Amino acid sequence: MSAMKELGTLRKIHAAGLSIGYTGHSPVLTAIDQVWQGPGIHLILGENGSGKSTLIRTLAGLQEPLKGVVNWDEENIHSIVAPRKITKMAFVESMPPRQSELTVDEALALNGRSRAEQDLWLHRFDLLSLRSKSISQLSDGLAQRVMLVRAILQETPWILMDEPTAFLDVKSRHVMWSHCSSLVEQGRHIMVSSHDFHLLEHNPHLKSVTAIRDHRLHHLDPMGSFAEWSASL
Amino acid sequence: MRQNKIPLAILAAILVLAMSHLMWGSTDINWAELGSWFSGVPKLGGTVFFEVRLPRVLMAIAAGSGLGIAGLMMQTWFHNPLAGPSVLGVTSGAGMAVALVILTGAGGGWLANALSASVGSWMALGLVLIVSNRFRGMASLLIFGLMLNYVLGALVTVLQSEAEENALQQFVFWGMGTFGQATLITSAVALALVLVAVWIVQARHRDLDKWTLGEITARSMGVDERGLRRLMIGLTGLLAGSITAVCGPVAFLGLATPHLVKLLISNRSHRHLIPMTALVGAMLALVADWGVKGFGVLDGGWPLNAVLSLLGAPLVIWVLVKRNMGNS
């Protein structure tokens, strides 16, 4: 794949003595020491309000930690300037933008990739016919698919997604996860928080499973079963 | 019409409108007297052209473009099609300060109004800036602006109830808005300011596009949220404040212009929206000023804000109806 050689490098995300949450409130999670590395899907599990979003945003450098540091490879993310940051990590929110009037083409063009590359991904995600539609006119599922393509076109080694399927119907969820698997086959790292983990059971691309319970992180067996994972929440 | 022809058509309309305003007015100009303005002993024709008509046209262009851009920035920033430069309380701040000066009988006169409008809008803006550093959500800031509007409006009402008839009348006139009080210098300064603002905003068009995709996504795409917010609020305050200082509180241009632009072109990237908003705002202001002049039919014409509201409100409703029909 020609696009691969342009990917920035980032092998591992390392949280050291990390406390996360919002300033002025008690921390959501404390004393996080963990490494996520290697291509594949890194799954974060947890009940609503357990701190999944806060964790994933902090690891992505989009939210300040209360204490401790996040290192991307050996670098503290605080010392990485924005233009380099965006070559390493792309982010997908759980709610696709409902108010953006940008057309699909205009939104994707913000990554500054070639038209041919953009077309290729629009084709792969079955979005070609919608290219001149405004995002605000698309269904949640289609809009989220556009946001995933946008993240892919950022051409980063890592894509972090915060419950990307939360607002999608069953079919769109399946489509989303199969796309994630094909991204992994191209050497990408995906970290995702989701309640949809039954859809990832026995997925050969699953690299790690981390559960949040009682304000702590727990490692689960990526080869484990849905029942085992559920029991540990 | 082809998309790329529309800006040219609007530019042509602006030129025609500007020319018409320069050529026709309540006084018949003897065009031979035009050059006399430069000679030191200006005759009536030269004075009317250079000190009345030209400043008024330049000011209308500056106010239309400037308020349109301020409206576009606020609508993008707040992800809200109802936002406008008056929403943050900037216009009310100016109104409050002018009310203080006029209604307490402390001043009056155009210079005092303009100065107090500037000071008032900057004070309101300062308050908004302080608050925007404390509040996390944008909705909170929007609500703060609305509440500020209510409080300032209430204070103005109190001042009005205490004021003398003469002062009250003067304040009501200021509130009607006009491009006609601009001088060559104030209109040139305003136009220069607007051009610089358009240039600065245009340089950030990608950031504004990213911003529409959501706060977190924009940040993940490298947008410096804090810097962008300061720029948006600062420029809006500067534009709305300085235009209000010269023209009084001008209604609707900020709110309506971006909506009209979105009806005219199908592009939604700010690279296209920004210049188009500047052009369409100027065109709307010049059209409205014909209403103020009275179409040569209405004796004396109507107040600017009345014309703008009569023109602007149906326009926005039309846009909404058309948009809804497109969706269903």
Tens of pLDDT, residues A46-78 = 888 888 999 999 999 999 999 999 999 989 998
Q: How far apart are CA B97 and CA B142, in angstroms?
A: 22
A215 sits in the region (left: phi over 0; alpha: psi -120 to 50; else beta) called left
**pLDDT band for position A108 (cuts 50, 70, 90):** very high
What's the mean pLDDT in B136-165? 85
Asked if B212's CB is within 8 angstroms of A99's CB, the reply is yes
At residue B265, the 3 state secondary structure works out as coil
Range with top average pLDDT, A25-29, A87-91, B147-151, B159-163 = A87-91
Q: Which 8-state DSSP code applies to residue B56?
A: H
Domain annotation for chain A: domains and CATH numbers: 38-53+82-231 (3.40.50.300)
Residue-level pLDDT at B197: 96
Residue-level pLDDT at B107: 65
Q: How many CB pairs under 8 A join A and B?
A: 63
Identify the CATH number of the domain in which residue B252 sits.
Answer: 1.10.3470.10
Nearest-neighbour CA in chain A from B208: distance (Å): 11
Residue-level pLDDT at A215: 85
Nearest-neighbour CA in chain B from A106: distance (Å): 6
| Residues B247-267 pLDDT 10s | 988 878 998 899 999 989 989
Instruction: Tell me which residue range forms the domain holding B109.
Output: 3-327
| Residues A24-44 pLDDT 10s | 888 888 888 999 998 999 999
Q: How many domains does chain B have?
A: 1
Question: What's this model's pTM, rounded to 2 decimal places?
Answer: 0.89
Residue-level pLDDT at A2: 41
Q: Does B269 touch chain A (CB under 8 A)?
A: yes
Residue-level pLDDT at A9: 84
Q: Does B267 touch chain A (CB under 8 A)?
A: yes
Residue-level pLDDT at A233: 77
Of residues B42, B89, B15, B40, the one with CA closest to residue B241: B89
pLDDT at B300 over 90: no
CB contact burial B225-237 (16+ within 10 A = b; e otherwise): eeebbebbbebbb
Average pLDDT, chain A: 88
Among A143-147, A203-207, B136-140, B208-212, which stretch is predicted with the lowest mean pLDDT? B136-140
Counting residues of chain A whose pLDDT is more than 70, the rounded percentage is 97
Residue-level pLDDT at B203: 97
Residue-level pLDDT at B116: 83
| Residues B89-118 pLDDT 10s | 888 888 888 888 888 877 666 777 777 887
Of residues A7, A93, A46, A73, the one with CA closest to residue A209: A46
Counting residues of chain B whose pLDDT is more than 70, the rounded percentage is 94
Residue from B80, B207, B217 to probe the interface with A (highest A Cβ count within 10 Å): B217
Point out the residue among A62, A89, A134 whose CB comes nearest to the CB of B216. Answer: A62
Radius of gyration of chain B (CA): 20
Cβ–Cβ under 8 Å, residues A46 and A233: yes
Residue-level pLDDT at A1: 41
Asked if A102's CB is within 8 angstroms of B220's CB, the reply is no
What's the mean pLDDT in B15-24? 92
Instruction: For the beta carbon of residue A232, count every other beta carbon within 10 angstroms.
Output: 15
Asked if B268's CB is within 8 angstroms of A134's CB, the reply is yes
Among A107-116, A133-142, B18-27, which stretch is predicted with the lowest mean pLDDT? B18-27
pLDDT at B63 over 90: yes
Instruction: For the beta carbon of residue A99, count every other beta carbon within 10 angstroms.
Output: 14
Asked if A91's CB is within 8 angstroms of B220's CB, the reply is yes
